[in-house]
Structure 1
Amino acid sequence: MMQIIVKKDEFREALLSWYRREKRDLPWRRTSNPYYIWVSEVMLQQTRVDTVIPYYERFIASFPTMEALAGAEENDLLKMWEGLGYYSRARNLQAGVREVVSDYGGEVPSNRTEISTLKGVGPYTAGAVLSIAYGVPEHAVDGNVMRVISRLLLIEEDIAIPRTKKIFETVVMDLIDQEDPSSFNQGLMELGATICTPKPKCLLCPVRDFCLAFQEGRQEALPIKTKKTKMKMKIIPVASFAIQNSEGEWLMRQRPSKGLLASLWEFPMVEPADDKTPQKMAHEHFGIELVGIVDILIFKHIFSHLTWEMKSFGARIEKTDIIPDGYQFFSQEEVEALPKPVPVLKIWDEIKRGGLK
């Protein structure tokens, strides 16, 4: 049977006073605007805080209101998300914001039932927005919070099993501070992010007196999380060609609107054959004749389910009346403005540094 924290008031006070004293100064903590908090929570999924800060600030500057984001062109949206990855998050955020603008008069719903119907808003995001923006005592349980609670209460259920999350949601609802649920939830998140990390810093922990795992010396054994059976990562060789015409413009195309890296812009890419030169690959796949081929970069780009082994080349094309279907030439300024996936950004940044070898 799961034990509970007996001195709840003392626990809350210890957590809240620590959080108010030690919390990091993050831009989304300077606002109670539910839209801004929503944006920050979506960006923070699977991304480090330090990485998110400049993205968040640029995004809010570009789309300061939900109406601005709702009316944004997809290219502009993806450009602001460029480099963050997981581009479906950006599309779902825009879709959810459009629902708020059209169905709720531009006011983010302030209850779990309604906010949870919005595109891309799961239980954690819903609870975070409700508690932080509206001061509603709702649970916001992510991996950091599950790690903290599992140690506090010596919970040994496997957090990799989805139904286990209900245990932690119930605990948070029992412990949450009714007067300041925003600071309480953020305090748990902050504790998990800075102190109660996978390698816990227990001597710095403000609530270690309440921690059953610490008392038993088992803090590093928790939480219990079984590892998924790893599927063999698919490895795909990819050759990318940064091709210029005589005016110095670059040949690019937009990827399909569905699938991997949907709607982002890229240089011509092929899966190379071992016995083919870059000239032959370009001729066979795109029907174009390249001259002045040089190496740019060789690198790996890892997705969640596959890896691209990238070889990139710079080249020129002289006959610009024959270019592959779907491709067009862009000036350097236009290329800069196009939303590009990380592999293309790496190649483009190397080109701008004068990295053609």
Structure 2
Amino acid sequence: MGFKVAVAGATGNVGREMLNILAERAFPTDEVVALASRRSIGQEVSFGDRVLKVKDLATFDFGDVDICLMSAGGDVSREWSPRIGAQGTVVIDNSSAFRMDPDVPLVVPEVNGEAVRGFGKKNIIANPNCSTAQLVVALKPLHDKAVIKRVVVSTYQSVSGAGKEGMDELFEQTRAVFTASELKTKKFSKRIAFNLIPHIDVFMEDGFTKEEWKMVVETKKILDPKIKLVATCVRVPVFVSHSEAVNIEFENPITAEEARTILRNAPGCVVIDKHEPGGYITPHEAAGEDATYISRVREDPTLDNGLAMWVVSDNLRKGAALNAVQIAEALINRKLIQAKRKAA
């Protein structure tokens, strides 16, 4: 007997991707339920070769649901995830609502998969920020080898990270440029078409944005609290996939060739690194793929033990939906949960 899984926020970009990935990976389900707000009741979403009608999150009974993949936003998660967890359902939350809660594991399975064992206090497991997820997948095997002291990262984040509204705005603004029509800015603070915006999420008192802060604190919680990290997060006119230019300082020596070999053998990583035109990955090529891609690995001559590299991943998949499904798989593979119907 399989598991009953609910996807909350099923009409959004990430929710739809969660349904796709559950089907692609043949997740052991007996039943999948699509949930969203009341205004989406009756809307249809795809699950493999089936069509699901969306139900109302606010009135749904989670009594026999084993896992809820929550992708309905931070405010909704803060209200509903504890309630759902109290009914014995394990919530895997894609929002930032519980990431820094000491009683909630923050998990990237390739990096700290054993942390899922701590879900029992609140029945909630947090998914990290999309830009953090791909970063720590690339950092973990290098940290194990040479011990990371400091990371400087600049992100180039696609508009899908801002949801459907962000993708629509890039499309509409691009069309307006080519048709000489009025260019309207709604979702972003400045035009995104043919432009870059060095601002994601709200500004904090120290001048960093909350997105940059998330990368710092989440990397420490997932990987190692002793790692120092500074980030500059930039929105770019790309529909899907986040890219990162990463500079790493290590305690111990490590060469670029050693790093490439380590990363080629690391879970979740694919190295594409030829020193020739086109011998690297771009966000367009990473879209729709599960891996974290690493290119341009080179030694930093300004540091005693330093590397620079380029990291790209599909933010809707590894940065969100895929990671959530992998967490659910980790719970099952470790036999930490069993289907309620079977248990009954």
TM normalised by structure 1 equals 0.24
Higher strand share: 2
Higher helix share: 1
Specify the structure having the higher radius of gyration (Cα). 1
Higher relative contact order (CA 8 A, sep 6+): 2
TM normalised by structure 2 equals 0.24
